[in-house]
Amino acid sequence: MILFLKSIVFASDFSRITAAVGLWSWAAISLALASQVVFYRVSRNTPGYIKTNTEGLDPKELLMGIDLSSSTFTGSWSQLCPTCKIVRPVRSKHCPICKQCVEQFDHHCPWISNCVGKRNKWDFLVFLCMGIATTLLGAAVGFHRLWTEPIILSSSESWTHFMVTKHPGAVLFMFMDIFLLTGALILTVAQAVMIARNLTTNEAANQSRYTYLRGPDGRFRNPYNQGWQKNCAYFLVNGYNNDEEAAWPTLQQTVE
């Protein structure tokens, strides 16, 4: 924001900014400030930590103290967490960085220094979308300022060389802005695809490790996929993925 204001909006080596461009500039600044609020929210809020059961238990006894009679236990040993001493729900995972199990664990994001899970995935998606809008507006204003700036080039000088030497701050901002825009776009598309499939990033990356992601024939099958329309609608309304299994045909029914 500081570089944008100093090198693009109020830069002394640029011509005076027009009212329309100034309006879009302040819109970008407003979005950037709002993004900081969402950033704080998504980085500080719980992603869906599951309460541990380690009090009074020996950490060296990996499976001692775990209540196997829990209603969430489906018989899969991957549900047992030797660190938290709990039977974690299906689709959850222990994060070695946060040192806790997270419901609907998606991934640990270094951008927000927090896990992305059931309780903050909606905020994470909003943060990404606001990041795209902010950097897109910033890039548009920056490109407009550079492109419409009246310049006089010598016969041996290129437009790019002139801008790099005369407006280094603006060029640096454009490079940083496009880099962030590219990263935000990739993350947003990846998250949108996962939401449409009702799948987490962790499940997509480690599908061979989870038995619930295999059908009777041994092939990959997502039991939670209700179709992209229902998956997206459920997420938009509730803010997290639907854990109810879809009604899939049996192997015999599939063969028939």
User: What pLDDT does 67 receive?
Assistant: 55
Looking up tokens 């949108």 gives 192
Rounded distance, CA 213 to CA 215, Å? 7
User: What pLDDT does 251 receive?
Assistant: 46
* 214 three-class SS: strand
Rounded distance, CA 195 to CA 128, Å? 14
| Least confidently predicted of 177-181, 187-191, 212-216 | 212-216
Q: In the predicted model, is pLDDT for residue 92 greater than 50?
A: yes
Residue 9's nearest CA partner among 144, 192, 199 is 144
The rounded radius of gyration (Å) of the Cα atoms in the chain is 25
Please identify every residue annotated as catalytic. 109
User: What pLDDT does 108 receive?
Assistant: 95
Model pLDDT for residues 13-69, shown as the tens digit of each residue: 888 889 999 999 999 999 999 999 999 999 999 999 988 875 554 454 445 455 555
Rounded distance, CA 54 to CA 31, Å? 43
User: What pLDDT does 159 receive?
Assistant: 81
Comparison of pLDDT for 15 and 73, the residue scoring more? 15
Cβ(226)–Cβ(242) under 8 Å? yes
Rounded distance, CA 70 to CA 227, Å? 31
How, if at all, do strands 100-102 and 107-109 pair? unpaired
Mean pLDDT of 74-90: 76
How, if at all, do strands 114-116 and 107-109 pair? antiparallel
Cβ(139)–Cβ(178) under 8 Å? yes
Q: What is the DSSP string of 69-120?
A: T-TT--S-GGGEETTTTEEPPTT-EEETTTTEEETT--EEETTTTEEE-TTT
Parse the chain into domains and list their residue ranges. 1-47+111-247, 59-110
Say how many Å lie between the first and final Cα of the chain, rounded: 62
- Residue 7's CB: how many other CB atoms inside 10 A? 21
Cβ(122)–Cβ(240) under 8 Å? yes
Rounded distance, CA 37 to CA 43, Å? 10
User: What pLDDT does 27 receive?
Assistant: 95
Helix, strand, coil percentages in the chain from 3-state DSSP, rounded to 5: 50, 5, 40
Statement: the pTM of the whole predicted model exceeds 0.85: no
Model pLDDT for residues 100-127, shown as the tens digit of each residue: 999 999 999 998 999 999 999 999 999 9
Q: In the predicted model, is pLDDT for residue 234 greater than 50?
A: yes
Rounded distance, CA 140 to CA 86, Å? 51
